[in-house]
């Protein structure tokens, strides 16, 4: 396992906790391609945390195998394995008596890096997660907001450049606005460092926003569907998935498409404030409702009008997609 992103394969993975009536995870098979973000979604107790923590062996497999770039997790030295996997949990778990910089340097220190290299790495990562080290490096966790602590948790998990990131409801405790902001920040970061990421969430909107693929687990840790966000929303495998993603999945699906994806009509003579072509169809729908118009101009990044979108176009999109 190098520091390049790694493929993760679950191969008929089952976990039965001692004394439990049934499995917490049953015959789970899925492949997460190198560099992608896979969100595990499902109701409480459906085995998400169990599925995640079998990767770094905090929980032992009962049967089946999890392979990282072809090597079973059981074949790795466990200490080495955990050093190579960044792990972010909901309660962050920063060391309260260490500064932010020292917290971020935890794993490099264990690995015996020289102090100068640890400091450089910590500073680089704090910069990357939007916490200027000059301002935040010497503070203690209690002197940060919840969202800032989450970002330190992410920086710490990235410190030794692990090929794999496990994130268990890392943004669960944040208010919706902070949460959206930090989701965007993580996506921006991910585009730069492309770690294979397994991400647990309860929240369908978070999953749709973050995921390349979504795995939906049901009670008993059985995989109900493993698919792209688009397929989960437009072609749920069964009633359980359809109920889980919600009756408003048609509206959610609109957030996946941008105006630039549509064949626009000529914009001759229509007035009004143009919509940016990078806006989602859901934003366009809101603009139609706010303006009362059924046709609106669309502009490119330079503000040049490139065409028009109609309310009918959105209707076609949802009906095609909800079929
Ligand atoms: N250490 C343990 N010993 C015994 N049973 C456990 C243990 N950890 C979890 N379980 C059980 O395994 C099942 C799956 O738990 P898990 O924590 O994986 O669910 P989850 O999907 O992460 O739930 P949540 O959304 O509430 O965090 C539950 O029934 C839980 O009670
Ligand atoms: Mg959990």
What distance in angstroms lies between residue 86's CA and the mean position of ligand 1's atoms?
21
84/155 same-domain check:
yes
Strand order in the sheet with 305-310: 275-276, 295-299, 305-310
Ligand 1 atom closest to the CA of 221, numbered from 1: 14
Domain match, 189 and 283 both: no
Q: Ligand 1 pocket, 21 CB below 6 A?
A: no
User: Do 51 and 102 fall within a single domain?
Assistant: yes
- Average pLDDT over the chain reads 88
CA–CA dist 247, 265 (Å, integer): 31
Work out how many domains the chain is built from and give that number. 2
Q: What confidence score (pLDDT) does residue 185 get?
A: 82
Q: For residue 215, which ligand has an atom nearest its CA?
A: 1
The pLDDT assigned to 318 comes to 58
The range of the structural domain enclosing residue 158 comes to: 8-246
Q: What is the pLDDT of residues 168-202, one digit of tens each?
A: 988 876 777 778 878 888 898 888 888 999 999 98
Measured at the alpha carbon of residue 251, what is the angle toward residues 256 and 167, in degrees to the nearest 5? Answer: 55
Nearest CA to ligand 1 atom 11: 24
Do 154 and 129 contact (CB within 8 A), yes or no?
yes
Residues 50 and 195 grouped into a single domain = yes
Q: Which of 181, 216, 246 delimits the end of a domain?
A: 246
24 lines ligand 1 (CB under 6 A): yes
Q: Are residues 265 and 216 in the same domain?
A: no
């Amino acid at each position: 396992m190098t520091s390049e992103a790694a493929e993760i394969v679950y191969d008929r993975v089952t976990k039965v906790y001692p004394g439990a009536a049934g499995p917490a995870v049953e015959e789970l098979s899925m492949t997460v391609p190198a560099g992608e973000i896979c969100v595990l979604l499902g109701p409480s107790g459906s085995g998400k945390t169990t599925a995640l923590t079998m990767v770094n062996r905090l929980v032992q497999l009962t049967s089946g195998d999890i392979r990282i770039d072809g090597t079973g997790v059981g074949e790795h030295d466990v200490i080495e394995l955990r050093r190579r996997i960044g792990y972010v949990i909901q309660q962050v778990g920063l060391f309260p008596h260490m500064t932010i910089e020292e917290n971020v340097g935890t794993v490099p220190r264990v690995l015996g890096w020289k102090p100068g290299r640890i400091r450089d790495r910590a500073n680089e990562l704090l910069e990357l997660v939007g916490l200027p080290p000059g301002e935040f490096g010497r503070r203690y966790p209690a002197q940060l907001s919840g969202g800032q602590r989450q970002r330190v948790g992410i920086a710490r998990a990235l410190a030794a450049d692990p090929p794999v990131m496990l994130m268990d409801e890392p943004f669960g405790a944040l208010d919706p606005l902070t949460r959206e902001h930090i989701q965007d920040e993580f996506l921006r970061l991910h585009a730069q460092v492309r770690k294979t990421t397994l991400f647990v969430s309860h929240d369908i909107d978070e999953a749709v926003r973050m995921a390349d693929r979504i795995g939906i687990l049901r009670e008993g840790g059985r995989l109900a569907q493993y698919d792209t966000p688009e397929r989960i929303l437009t072609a749920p495998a069964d009633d359980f998935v359809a109920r889980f993603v919600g009756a408003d999945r048609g509206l959610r699906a609109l957030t996946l498409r941008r105006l630039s994806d549509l064949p626009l009509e000529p914009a001759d003579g229509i007035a009004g404030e143009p919509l940016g072509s990078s806006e989602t169809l859901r934003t366009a729908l809101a603009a139609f409702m706010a303006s009362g118009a059924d046709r609106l101009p669309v502009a490119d990044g330079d503000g040049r009008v490139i065409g028009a979108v109609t309310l009918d176009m959105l209707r076609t999109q949802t009906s095609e997609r909800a079929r």
